[in-house]
Amino acid sequence: MQTKIFEIIEIDDRSTDKLKEAATILRNGGLVAFPTETVYGLGADAMNAEAVERIYLAKGRPSDNPIIIHIAGADMLSILTSSESEDMHVLAERFWPGPLTLVLPKRPQVPDVTTGGLSTVAVRMPDNPVALELIRKSGCPVAAPSANISGRPSPTKGEHVIVDLSGRVDAIILSGDCSVGIESTVLDLTGNLPVVLRPGIITPEQLTDVLRKKVVVDPGVLAQSQYDGTAYDEPPRAPGMKYTHYAPKAEMIILNGERHDVIIGMNKMRSEAEAEGKKVGIILFEESEPEKAAHGFFARLRELDEEGADIILAAALNSRDSVGLAVMNRMLKAAGYKMINV
Ligand code: TXA
Ligand code: MG
């Protein structure tokens, strides 16, 4: 398949024709990768089951994994859900456009393939002018998982999308780097209490503040993010373990402990590995700046792959709440939960 590449840095007169063409591809059942503020997405018309099926094929994604639907306005929200939940309105008002996905009861006309057969639908309005204009021009809600081959690190730069999806999708819109760098916070609003299913840059604390009620973090996320490495030789049997996530090609090990001890441990492990002729990659983000870690993490994994690292040693962030929770969630998955205490 010939993939069209559109470069759109900002919305201006020169970008109008490109956006129209990309929107027409979407409306006709094609696949278009586009930038969002979190990571690049691979979009299709969410209401067209055949188009959405092509996403699963292009990514090599298990078809029971539901896809987030991207909207550009309130009119599109009402196509997807009949919910009038007060929490939904409050959160949409405060955080949209932005990196928050809301899980809501779905309308019957949303195809099962889009929601992985669930009776709920995950919706967000991305905070990126190119994405919003593309969705508006296409006139349809746009189903879009991250624009990577399934299991690979999420794409935060246009070049990542080209590497993974060239020849597999109809078009790619290139538009610089994603500002957030990790995927949106996913919040389930269908139960008695709001539950964070996937942590992101919008934190449980912020959601609690705005809703003025308790927001629960899914126990699975917490257990995984606190994972203390004692079972390094025998990984945990969490259901998610059967899938590889965000996996770099290299073996990745997280070192957990006080920063000073972690650096000593890293140097020792690095020397030992290098003595065996292995190439070692290091991931070391400032603990006081978890947003920077979120921004750079996936890109760093891809960079180390490109450099041909055999082993990646990553320093854990010691804060496991707020944005630290979101970063550690990605780091542990990327390492296949291999973490040692130093
Ligand atoms: O930031 C993002 O959310 C990016 C950009 C492209 O918007 N998209 C993204 O999509 O990360 P994806 O498909 O890689 O992740 C979707 C997540 C998965 O963990 C999926 O299980 C969950 O959202 N999800 C989708 N629909 C759901 C639903 N109805 N109920 C519960 N979880 C759902
Ligand atoms: Mg993904």
Is residue 45 within 6 Å of ligand 1 at its C-beta? no
pLDDT at 1 over 50: yes
Query: What would the mean pLDDT of 279-302 be, rounded to a whole number?
Result: 96
Q: How many whole angstroms from 149 Cα to the centroid of ligand 2? A: 9
Edge-first strand order for the sheet with 216-217 is: 4-7, 171-174, 32-34, 41-45, 142-143, 69-70, 120-124, 100-105, 185-188, 195-198, 216-217
HEC-encoded secondary structure of 80-91 = HCCCCCHHHHHH
- Ligand 1 centroid–CA 66 distance in Å is 7
* Ligand that lies nearest to the alpha carbon of residue 326, given by its number in the listed order: 1
Predicted pLDDT of residue 258? 95
pLDDT per residue as tens digits for the range 187-242: 999 999 999 999 999 999 999 999 999 999 998 887 777 665 554 444 444 444 44
Share of the chain above pLDDT 90, in %: 85
Cα–Cα nearest to 327, from 134, 217, 198, 197: 198
- Answer yes or no: are the C-beta atoms of 43 and 70 closer than 8 Å: yes
**Does residue 36 have its Cβ closer than 6 Å to ligand 1?**
yes
Q: What is the full DSSP assignment across 187-212?
A: EE-SSSS-EEEE--SS-HHHHHHHHT
Ligand nearest to the CA of 126: 1
256, 316 contact by CB (below 8 A): yes
Is 191 within 8 Å of 169 (Cβ atoms)? no
Q: Which residues of 118-147 are buried (b: 16+ CB within 10 A; e: fewer)?
A: bebbbbbbbbbbbbbbbbebbebbbbbbbb
Closest atom of ligand 1 relative to the 122 alpha carbon? 26
Q: Map residue 242 onto helix, strand or coil.
A: helix
Residue 243 has pLDDT above 70, yes or no: no
* Ligand 2 center to 67 CA (angstroms): 9
Name the DSSP class of 107.
Answer: P
Does the Cβ of 122 fall within 6 Å of ligand 1? yes
Each residue's pLDDT tens digit, 131-183: 999 999 999 999 999 999 999 999 999 999 999 999 999 999 999 999 999 99
Rounded CA gap, 67 and 340, in Å?
33
pLDDT of residue 321: 80
81: Cβ below 6 Å to ligand 1? no
- Nearest-CA residue for ligand 1 atom 19 is 198
Q: Amino acid letter at 61?
A: R
146 C-alpha to center of ligand 2: Å?
Answer: 4
Q: What is the pLDDT of residue 244?
A: 64
Distance 262 CA to ligand 2 centre (A): 29
Mutate to test the pocket of ligand 1, among 52, 59, 186 (most ligand atoms within 8 A of CB): 186
Name the residue of 80, 182, 183, 333 whose CB sits within 8 Å of the most ligand 1 atoms, as the mutation to test its pocket. Answer: 183
Structure tokens at 300: 């760093």
CB-count exposure of residue 81 (10 Å: 0-12, 13-18, 19+): buried
Question: Per the structure block, which two tokens stand in for 244?
Answer: 């590889």
Alpha-carbon span 99 to 183, nearest angstrom: 7
User: Does 144 sit in the ligand 1 pocket, CB within 6 Å?
Assistant: yes
The one-letter amino acid at 157: K
Position 219 scores a pLDDT of 85
Dist. CA 337–CA 331, nearest whole Å: 8
8 CA distance to ligand 2 centroid (A)?
A: 23
